Chain A
């Protein structure tokens, strides 16, 4: 009987990993798409792998961790998409060339993502939720901010973290 219970437990964990890994259906296309604008594809592949591992692990853990992965991906989509739109609107700073004006949209993407995460975290969810979701959103945003340089990427990440922190502190006040 105990053997069967152990087998059932193992089956549950196995099923949970499969369920968690299904996030690859969203993450892998986003990483592949980012490769079109990437100046350092190795960075995108490493960050993309990190994003896949992180989201799979968070979903496997379940509860608030799983919600952090999902909200982080949803919010991170803004940080991911805004830099992609820069070359599309005919601006001078195409990926690989930096003219200083690309910092604004990347920071705006970070702030927008931070607002969503901070609002969803509110007062009910803990710091771990905010950190996990911000990490996921940051990794996703880094995929398209990276071509504009480390300073732009740091600006996006800083804006994201500051916004999440401010909104969460405000919600608890």
Chain B
């Protein structure tokens, strides 16, 4: 979400909060996918994820009139959604249907939006790296110090790394634009 889209959402959310129903559609098309993505991630593997996603979305719109236009809209929306998830996950945890309450999934001090962006990026990176060959993966892993460097000259390693990065960039651009 770029700065312009954020400003648009803030403005539409402020209009909706003041009772302008014509802003509903514009808020819905942005809020619904974001809330559903966050909920599916936080309740991954739970059969209740869809229900909780819907409940969280309804809660966001139920509280829309309370939105403070001075605050950015997306963190406010995802804050409500993550609270709903937290409550749902606590229930599931008590019933032993999930392995951890939500507190261990989101780092302290990290907003739900930051967590969602980081999780999305991680998934996109995994997907892009899945398209690379084993030698490219080994080279990238060695450059990050995750595995020992292969027994080749520095110049060759740098060349391999450059090619691996080029291929990764090409895959990334093809997948994410």
Instruction: Please provide the chain A residues from 104 to 136 with a CB less than 8 Å away from any CB of chain B in the complex.
Output: none
> Within 8 Å of chain B (Cβ to Cβ): is A5?
yes
Stretch at the interface among B12-20, B88-96, B143-151, B157-165: B12-20
Contact with B along A1-24 (1 / 0, CB 8 A): 000110111011011101110000
Q: Is the CB of B62 within 8 A of A63?
A: no
Q: Is the CB of B61 within 8 A of A11?
A: yes
Q: Is the CB of B18 within 8 A of A8?
A: no
Count CB-based A-B contacts (< 8 Å).
52
- Considering only CB atoms and an 8 Å cut-off, how many residues of chain A contact the other chain? 20
A65 and B64 CA atoms in complex are apart in Å by: 18
Give A25 Cβ to nearest chain B Cβ, in Å.
15
Chain A residues closer than 8 Å to B54, beta-carbon distance: 4, 7
Report the contact-size class of chain B (Cβ under 8 Å from the partner). Answer: 10 to 19
Where chain B touches its partner, the secondary structure class is helix
A12 and B59 CA atoms in complex are apart in Å by: 9
Instruction: Please provide the chain B residues from 14 to 34 with a CB less than 8 Å away from any CB of chain A in the complex.
Output: 16, 18-21, 24, 28, 32
Chain A residues closer than 8 Å to B62, beta-carbon distance: 11-12, 14-15, 18
Q: Is the CB of B61 within 8 A of A12?
A: yes
Instruction: Please provide the chain A residues from 27 to 70 with a CB less than 8 Å away from any CB of chain B in the complex.
Output: 59-63, 65-66
Q: Interface residues, chain A, CB within 8 Å of chain B?
A: 4-5, 7-9, 11-12, 14-16, 18-20, 59-63, 65-66
